Chains A and B, each alone.
Chain A
């Protein structure tokens, strides 16, 4: 991992998060150290309740860590901003804005003039194959198109890191497959640094350069493994024996984290 940390884009150091509950603090993340290199695609897998979403929220600066810190290019992240794009499972589009105006939101905030905004919106709509739906309202779109809009909106401000929180979890299997192809294509063309949370092991293996396996309650890094698969990635890999054995490996690691969970502890 030496050469990756040399060009680390995003790093978490000893990241710990406690939530206050009635019966005292509940630890959801426990000393998480992870690194995402410049231009790398990293996935975090873990069962529900391992604090994956909390980790992304902290990385985005939306929540404060109890201990430890998040470093972007070596500088601590102190709050949210356009440096860190975030895409949610539930799309979170502005229902009163058209697809184009949703994508333009961050550009308006950044103070781009109208002509510049229009140009850039058109570019990202094209990247996400949404040009034909520029004037549609989110309520008229399918789930896949909504998520493409959300990704286009996050990419339009050119964030240094793109955080994806189970982005395809709400989509049907076919749509998910084409979204995986699309995100790979975007990643190859734009070279964005991506940290993605998923509970779909196949998806993690297909998309990422590296996988962190998180254990549940409290979330800990249980394992880290490199994914050596031929580039460019394509869904036809799913049928390769090498792909399958990697999936089994991750499955086993996940299974171990479940068994390691001490029974009866909150």
Chain B
């Protein structure tokens, strides 16, 4: 720096006081304490290495199991409230070997399958239509939002009056408990297709029908499957309630029956089975999405 520049700088400093003069200084942490934000356990939205992730996943399963074992082995909790893991395994084995578990699971899965197939059949076309045509959204949305907040189990007395005690009442209950949510979520998925993508299609010569068929539907597929993943969980939850309606078999029915005889170990066994069924369904939907829309991964 030449002396002339030096003077110039000094002069400027005299003429222009710093902009922040008079305001309190920013307190900084000492530099030593700073670490790169991407290291350690609490990484914020960074991938963690497998050697950290795998033990975390294993621990997330083992630690609760261990805690469960300790609680029951030390008799800290009464077996009636919390049966030991061993007794749950035994109850599972009894149910499985008697064949009850399979017939129950089959009955429950059939109910979930039929009702959710109906849900998809109604909600996906309706949701796509609502998300695509604001006029149809205006027609259907008020009623759907209205029904969406009604608790499905509250319909049980009505369903019994209307449909009796058979399968149709159970399947209808599962249907009304899920269809409105899946419709609204499907509509949102369709409405998220970027306007520019639709406009680009028009300038490539597409008319409305082609835009729906070739742009809105394929763009929506991963979102639609994600909505199904979320909402079939609701169906699975509701199935226990549905099987309160004079059921003869089913996992929900098995729980209600076990409760009557205070067989908490059996309740636990069935709950775990329901959980595993849920995870399997979820993984199935994820595989389906990756297969149908590998671009969205």
CB of A82 within 8 A of CB of B219, answer no
CB of A105 within 8 A of CB of B295, answer no
CB of A154 within 8 A of CB of B197, answer no
CB of B295 within 8 A of CB of A96, answer yes
Does chain B have a CB within 8 A of A243? no
Bound complex: CA A85 to CA B206 (Å): 12
* Given A94-B215, A96-B295, CB of A86 within 8 Å of CB of B199: yes
Interface residues of A in 105-158 (CB under 8 A from B): 105-106, 108-110, 137-139, 150, 153-154, 157
Bound complex: CA A96 to CA B295 (Å): 5
Interface residues on chain A, number (Cβ under 8 Å): 30
Does chain A have a CB within 8 A of B72? no
Which of the residues A62, A106, A163 comes within 8 Å of B204, measured between beta carbons?
A: A106
Interface residues of B in 160-218 (CB under 8 A from A): 194, 196-197, 199-206, 210, 214-215, 218
CB of A94 within 8 A of CB of B204, answer no
B77 to chain A, nearest CB (A): 52
Closest to A80 in B: B202
* Given A86-B199, A94-B218, A105-B214, CB of A154 within 8 Å of CB of B204: yes
Which of the residues A60, A106, A137, A138 comes within 8 Å of B205, measured between beta carbons?
A: A106
CB of A86 within 8 A of CB of B203, answer yes
Which of the residues B200, B203, B204, B219 comes within 8 Å of A96, measured between beta carbons?
A: B219
Bound complex: CA A82 to CA B200 (Å): 10
Interface residues of A in 38-97 (CB under 8 A from B): 57, 60-62, 80-82, 84-86, 88, 90, 92, 94-96
A154 to chain B, nearest CB (A): 7
Contacts of A95 in B (CB 8 A): 219, 295-296
Closest to A86 in B: B203
Which of the residues B199, B205, B218, B295 comes within 8 Å of A82, measured between beta carbons?
A: B205
CB of B200 within 8 A of CB of A92, answer yes
CB of A139 within 8 A of CB of B205, answer no
Closest to A139 in B: B295
CB of A60 within 8 A of CB of B203, answer yes
Bound complex: CA A138 to CA B26 (Å): 45
Contacts of A108 in B (CB 8 A): 214
Contacts of A150 in B (CB 8 A): 200
Contacts of B210 in A (CB 8 A): 109
Which of the residues B197, B199, B202 comes within 8 Å of A94, measured between beta carbons?
A: B197
Bound complex: CA A90 to CA B197 (Å): 10
Bound complex: CA A264 to CA B199 (Å): 34
Bound complex: CA A159 to CA B199 (Å): 15
B113 to chain A, nearest CB (A): 28
Does chain A have a CB within 8 A of B258? no
Contacts of B219 in A (CB 8 A): 94-96
Contacts of B199 in A (CB 8 A): 57, 60, 62, 80, 86, 88, 92
Contacts of A62 in B (CB 8 A): 199, 202-203
Bound complex: CA A32 to CA B197 (Å): 27
Does chain A have a CB within 8 A of B293? yes
Contacts of B215 in A (CB 8 A): 94
CB of A88 within 8 A of CB of B206, answer no
Contacts of B204 in A (CB 8 A): 82, 85, 105-106, 109, 153-154, 157
Closest 10 CB pairs of A and B: A82-B205, A106-B204, A80-B202, A86-B203, A109-B205, A92-B200, A92-B196, A96-B295, A95-B295, A109-B206
Q: 21 A-B Cβ contacts within 8 A? A: A60-B202, A60-B203, A62-B199, A62-B202, A81-B203, A86-B199, A88-B199, A90-B196, A92-B196, A92-B200, A95-B219, A96-B218, A96-B295, A105-B201, A105-B206, A105-B214, A137-B295, A138-B295, A139-B295, A150-B200, A163-B203
* B-to-A contact residues, CB < 8 Å: 194, 196-197, 199-206, 210, 214-215, 218-219, 221, 293, 295-296
